Amino acid sequence: MKPFLLLFPLISLSGCDQQEVAWQHWCFPAEYLSPASSIASNAGDTAFDSQLSAAPILFFPAEYVAKHVTGFRTTISMPDAGQLVQNLPVNFQPVNISAELPSDSTLESLLPGTDLLVLKAHDPYQWSVYNKKEEKLQLWGSCDLNSKEDYECFRTIQHDGVNLRYSLHRDNIKNYHEIDELIIKNLEYWRCGS
């Protein structure tokens, strides 16, 4: 009986915490993957037609993001839904996302205190967002209206041959630089064999 009791702690310590899911050149710890990443069947869905379709969905809990991103709000207030936890799922997308870039004279600030720009005359329900990197205008992502004065944005960043997309409530948009950095640092750390 004693040998069994001694082996049990060793077995439980080498369990799920050490699991990794390999995709392309990354080895993702299971604890940072969405449960949707383990869906093995596409049930005939033709959207699953590329290697990218098999990509896992990263999942950073709100508390984890708040530990690494100063000022990140873990909960947000939605007019029709009350308080919601602002977890951070990250999807992989095709690299060829292109957009026609407007001229600077047609743009205005999306939110004071950010470098984000929108068309002065944009659709009130969904709009593209731009920013400048090294004085060159680029597509930042897009936003959708949730209610009269509340919106959610989808940030797209290109890194290491893939686009990464995550959603961000208006209250956390000012933190996007730090959130981008958090995601990229984790990806570098999760490179297989590093």
Query: Do residues 175 and 194 lie in contact, with contact meaning Cβ atoms separated by under 8 Å?
Result: no
Q: Cα–Cα distances in Å, from 92 out to 6, 53, 74, 110, 146?
A: 43, 8, 23, 25, 24
Answer yes or no: is 4 within a domain: no
CA distance 154 to 88: 11
165 burial via Cβ count (<10 Å: 0-12, 13-18, 19+) = middle
Answer yes or no: is 44 within a domain: no
In this predicted structure, the answer to whether residue 2 has a pLDDT above a threshold of 50 is no
- Where do the DSSP E strands lie in 1-47? 20-23, 26-29
- Residue 12's pLDDT band (boundaries 50, 70, 90)? very low
For residue 52, the model assigns a pLDDT of: 54
Report the chain's terminal Cα–Cα distance, integer Å: 41
What's the number of domains the chain is made of?
1
193 burial via Cβ count (<10 Å: 0-12, 13-18, 19+) = exposed
Query: Do residues 58 and 183 lie in contact, with contact meaning Cβ atoms separated by under 8 Å?
Result: yes
Answer yes or no: is 76 within a domain: yes
Answer yes or no: is 28 within a domain: yes
Q: What does the block give as tokens for 175?
A: 């933190």
For residue 122, the model assigns a pLDDT of: 87
With H, G, I as helix, E, B as strand and everything else as coil, classify residue 8.
Answer: helix
pTM for the predicted model, two decimal places? 0.81
Query: Do residues 111 and 170 lie in contact, with contact meaning Cβ atoms separated by under 8 Å?
Result: yes
Answer yes or no: is 183 within a domain: yes
Answer yes or no: is 7 within a domain: no
Give me the phi and psi of 33, to 5 degrees please.
-115, 145
What range does the domain containing 182 cover?
12-39+49-189
Answer yes or no: is 130 within a domain: yes
Per-residue pLDDT of 131-166, as tens digits, reads: 988 888 999 999 998 777 788 999 999 888 888 999
In this predicted structure, the answer to whether residue 43 has a pLDDT above a threshold of 90 is no
In this predicted structure, the answer to whether residue 14 has a pLDDT above a threshold of 50 is no
Per-residue pLDDT of 44-85, as tens digits, reads: 555 544 555 678 899 999 999 999 999 999 998 877 778 889
Answer yes or no: is 169 within a domain: yes
Give me the phi and psi of 37, to 5 degrees please.
-65, -20
